[in-house]
Structure 1
Amino acid sequence: MTDHSTQHVSRALYWYMCQHIVGTEDYVKQIRLLNAVRDNLSSNKVGISITSGSFGEGLEMRGSDLDVMFMDRNVEVYDVKPRFHPNISYLSMNTDYEKPGFTQLRLEYSNSQTLYDNSVQFADKHYLSSTLGKK
């Protein structure tokens, strides 16, 4: 294919995707804005909900699920030990044996039973479990 033919196919594919799969650029921006507004309205003293995944990026695709993360304001994750506060639970990051972009979260201190309930014990340490936390 020549450069002109490649450009034509690329534009046709972009147009088709905008019309039939993900929506126009303005529609995607609107979805992102609505997600941000909903996330801000659901924010409170305890935590923040964050819409993520493809829908969080503004892509409303058939068959796709809705991913929502919850950030607890009373839990801190660190790789350098912070100043201790008794009302905050602390998780340390361990990336030594993990794939790039992943980490193990070790429970260092918790004032909440919920974190212990969502952790597994390994070698006298408690680690947050991704499978126990999924809903």
Structure 2
Amino acid sequence: MSIEEQFNQEMLDLYQVVGKATGYWANYYLRFVRKHGGLAYAKKALGKKDDTQDGFKKLIEVGRPDLSVEATVLKGEYRSLFTYDEIKEAQRRIDTVPNYAWRKPIKPSMNFSGEIENDELFTEGSIKKVTVNLLNFRT
């Protein structure tokens, strides 16, 4: 399989990966990739310098810019398919993603750290009594 065929397959697979991970099903993207190929889609998307793709914006909103066409283009194995300007544009877009928009992998043991005791067992729908001190301020 050629590098272009690998890229095209990854772009096709990206539709399912993004949809399952985020709930965002980019139907226009899929139609274009099926009809013209993943390389043609990526080059078209990167050619719009003033208008960042809606799909890229959506992936930033859901914290998954790592699943974008731009991130795929920047993978080492695919760089030879793109011009210097296309790679530069993909990198510029990735560089504009705010730090808070990148999903950070967290080990399950780190979730709710310090809030749940190891000997406590919680069942969905169960009741737990919590006592809270409240100061009542009147204005």
Whether these two folds match at TM > 0.5 is no
Larger RCO, structures 1/2 (Cα 8 Å, 6+ apart)? 2
Bigger fraction of residues in helix: 2
TM-score relative to the length of structure 2: 0.23
